[in-house]
Amino acid sequence: MIASGHSSTRLLDGAVLVGLALFPLLMPGYLDLGTRMVILTLFALSLDILVGYCGLVTLGHAAFFGVGAYAAGIFAIRVWAEPVVGLVVGGAAAALLGLVSGAMLLRSRRLTLIVLSLATVLIVQEIANKMNWLTGGADGLPGISMRPVLGQFSFDLFGRVSYTYAAIVLAVGFLAFRAVVDSNFGKSLVGIRENETRMHALGTPVGGRLRMAFVMSAALAGVAGALQAQVTQFVSLNVVSVELSGEVLIMLILGGAGRRYGAFLGAPLYVFMQDYLAREDPANWYLWIGLLLLAIVFLAPGGLTAWTGALARRLPWRRP
Amino acid sequence: MWEFVDLLISLTFYGTAYGMILYCLAVGLSVTLGLMRFVNLAHGVFAMTGGYLTVTAMSRLGFAFLPAVAVSVVAVGALGMLVERTLCRRLYSAPILEQVLFSIGLIFVSSAVARYFFGPLAQPIELPAWLSGRIDIGVGVFPAYRVFLIGAGAVLAFAIWAGVERSRFGASVRAAVDNRRMAESVGINVNRVFTICFGLGTGLAALGGSLGADLLPIYPGYPNDYLVYFLIIVAVAGLGNLRGAFFVALTFGVSDTVVRYFLPDLGRILILLMIMAVLSYKPHGFAPKTHA
């Protein structure tokens, strides 16, 4: 628990949570956008465990987001429309997929891992597409109507409850993420990322650790997907697409992978740009985002938090 | 009974034609991935560019089919060398994540540019008269275009085999793959070998994109939507295993066609599951050696 014991880190962690709480007061007219930012931040955070801390690059993370969304949506329609229970169901379904696919994926690295992750998301998408009677197929899954959260707070038209609910879930998710990456377990993941052979030689059960991390990451992504299904009251095939898997990777990289606040910076910025640019110039949205990616790769590897981190180290009171 | 045999023959035929195009597209990628260990997910960008160039040369400039293909292969190969010299080279020692991001960025930009110039719809290609008829090849009457694809793929496979396994340049490529420092110390200019290989790989992509334009239509989503097919073939064959890529591409083309015919609903899922099983059992594919 060295990192979170550091006073400035604890301060920043607190600032993130305060920021989440202050958003509705500062921008009351943008709650829908804010909710979207919160959900995608949670999704990007889950991917960070794999990409940032384990050093595994995948292009199939939307498989878990999508399974979580479908599981929560179907559970709400057919069994019980209680939101919090629905989150647990979504997370558990995604964790199960993570357990199975992790066993298959994690024997490979680099390109083969990318191919296998792409295949996973395509299989899930095709299953969701073909099981019309359960998922609604290409038309999507309509008719999700959630009960009040914990029987107390019903979802309102202005999105106040949606935002608060999503923000609390993100805050809990961040605390869980923090506990994982700051633990010895999290440190061993970083060790594996830096030098797998050496960790193996040190006696770390590399395969078991990675599978564990994979399941955790899948579960968190599933919760994010469930949240999206509940808040938008609709699930479409887009939640299990290669495109979404690529987008969440971009969000994470934009902020910085493996840098604790990367997801909190990248996801909101991406959603904001998408909202702004797609409104001004929808045809060229992908041109701008592509150019931005190339700029990050060549000019700011490590993302925005690497920049701000380098900036912060230059501040006078941080000098040794 | 004979009807069933006929059906199997024609499914195999169509599958082989499809597999040949996939081979053409994947083999270039296998060169790039196996030699440079550069995870280039943007391979389809060069195939799409080649396709657009061929279509434009034919419809706007009045080129015949084969000269148009030749021009686009040379042009895209040159473009590939330029991209390698200016951009890719800087990422060889970067983490795989940066290479993936670079590829995605390139895909996004090129799709947007393609949409700007050609619109969102697929570009129809005017096949010449000698390719649009049907011909009898002994076991049945088949579209001349598909017969041409199979012939062209076979010639290409032979040319690549002769070029990589039987030539001096091929030997220096293999030396650079096996041990870069050693290859440099015996006087091979590895940087130049890399540039030429990247040009070859992108040129082959353009060839596949152009020849296959009637089978895999050229549209802005091309680099993204077909990516998984090239990657599957390269990964199952093993990176840099060029001969393997040929057999894997044909097997994939035929089995995909057959399974989709008999099981239209579950076919895609089944094929993908089979590929996952193969790759988790053999993470390095069927390559004799393990690279990347």
Closest alpha carbon to A244 in A40, A49, A103: A40
State the CB neighbour count (10 A cutoff) for residue A121.
27
Residues 6+ apart with CB under 8 A from B128: B64, B65
Residue A290 within any structural domain of the chain:
no
pLDDT at res. A1 = 37
B251-268 in b/e burial notation, b at 16+ Cβ within 10 A? ebbbbbbbbbeeeeeebb
- Taking only residues 218 to 247 of chain A, the set having a beta carbon closer than 8 angstroms to any beta carbon of chain B reads 242-243, 246
Q: Is the CB of A294 inside 8 Å of chain B's CB atoms? A: yes
How far is A252 from chain B, CA to nearest CA, in Å? 11
Residue A317 identity (one-letter amino acid): W
CA A98, CA B232: separation in Å to the nearest integer? 21
- Residue A256 placed within a domain: no
Q: Name the A residues in 103-132 with CB < 8 Å from any B CB.
A: 103-105, 107-112, 114-116, 118-120, 122-123, 126-127, 130
Examine residue A63 and state whether it is found in any structural domain, yes or no.
yes
Cβ atoms A199, A63 nearer than 8 A: no
pLDDT in tens, chain A (320 residues): 344 456 677 788 888 888 887 787 777 778 888 889 999 999 999 999 999 898 899 999 999 999 999 999 999 888 888 888 899 999 999 999 999 999 888 888 888 899 899 999 999 999 998 888 888 877 888 877 777 777 777 777 677 788 888 888 998 998 899 889 888 888 888 888 888 889 888 888 888 899 999 999 999 999 999 999 988 888 888 889 888 998 899 899 888 888 888 888 889 998 988 888 878 777 788 888 888 888 888 887 767 777 777 777 666 555 44
DSSP label at A157?
A: T
What the block records as the tokens of B121 is 């719809």
Hey, what are A107's tokens?
């024997």
pLDDT by residue, tens only, chain B of 292 residues: 788 888 888 888 888 889 999 999 898 888 888 777 788 888 999 999 999 999 999 888 888 889 888 999 999 999 999 988 888 878 887 888 888 888 989 999 999 899 888 888 888 888 888 888 888 777 778 888 888 888 888 999 898 888 877 888 888 887 887 788 888 888 888 888 888 888 988 999 999 999 888 888 888 888 888 888 888 898 888 887 888 889 999 999 999 888 888 888 888 888 888 888 888 888 787 776 544 3
Q: State whether residue A283 sits within 8 Å of chain B by CB.
A: yes
- B272: chain A residues, CB-CB within 8 Å: 119, 122-123, 126
Question: Number of residue pairs across A and B with CB atoms under 8 Å?
Answer: 129
Query: Residue A115: which of B235, B265, B268 has the nearest Cβ?
Result: B235
Residues of chain A contacting B259 with CB distance shorter than 8 Å = none
Interface of A with B in 201-220 (CB under 8 A): none
- Cβ separation of B272 and A57 shorter than 8 Å? no
The pLDDT of residue A318: 54
Q: What is the ipTM of this complex?
A: 0.85
Q: Which of A109, A244, A281, A297 to mutate to test the interface with B (most CBs of B within 10 A)?
A: A297
Distance CA B255, CA B247 (A): 12
Q: How many residues does chain B have?
A: 292
Evaluate whether residue A220 is within a structural domain: yes
pLDDT for B214: 83
- What is the chain B residue with the closest CA to A60? B228
Joined together, the tokens standing for residue B169 give: 């340049």
User: Are the beta carbons of B283 and A289 separated by less than 8 Å?
Assistant: no
Question: Does residue A262 lie within any of the structural domains?
Answer: no
In this predicted structure, what is the pLDDT of residue A106? 86
Identify whether A15 is part of a domain.
yes
* Total number of domains constituting chain A: 1
Residue in A105, A126, A301 closest to B268 by CB: A126
Please report the pLDDT score of residue A3 as a whole number. Answer: 45
Is the pTM for the entire model greater than 0.90?
no
Q: Is B64 exposed, middle or buried (0-12, 13-18, 19+ CB in 10 A)?
A: exposed
Of A115, A120, A297, the CB nearest to B232: A115
Residue A125 domain-assigned (yes or no) = yes
Q: Dihedral through CA A123, CA A128, CA A133, CA A134, nearest 10?
A: 110
- Per-residue model confidence as pLDDT tens digits over A89-104: 999 999 999 999 998 8
Q: In this structure, is residue A254 part of a structural domain?
A: no
Helix orientation angle between B227-237 and B43-59, rounded to the nearest 10 degrees: 130
Residue A151, Ramachandran bin (φ over 0: left; ψ between -120 and 50: alpha; else beta) = left
d(CA B175, CA B157) in angstroms, rounded, equals 21
* Domain interval for residue A215: 2-241
Render pLDDT for A187-202 as a digit per residue (tens, 0 to 9): 888 888 888 889 888 8
- Per CB-CB distance under 8 Å, the chain A contacts of B115 are 283
Q: Do A111 and B269 make contact, defined as CB atoms within 8 angstroms? A: no
Min distance A137 CA to chain B CA atoms (Å): 13
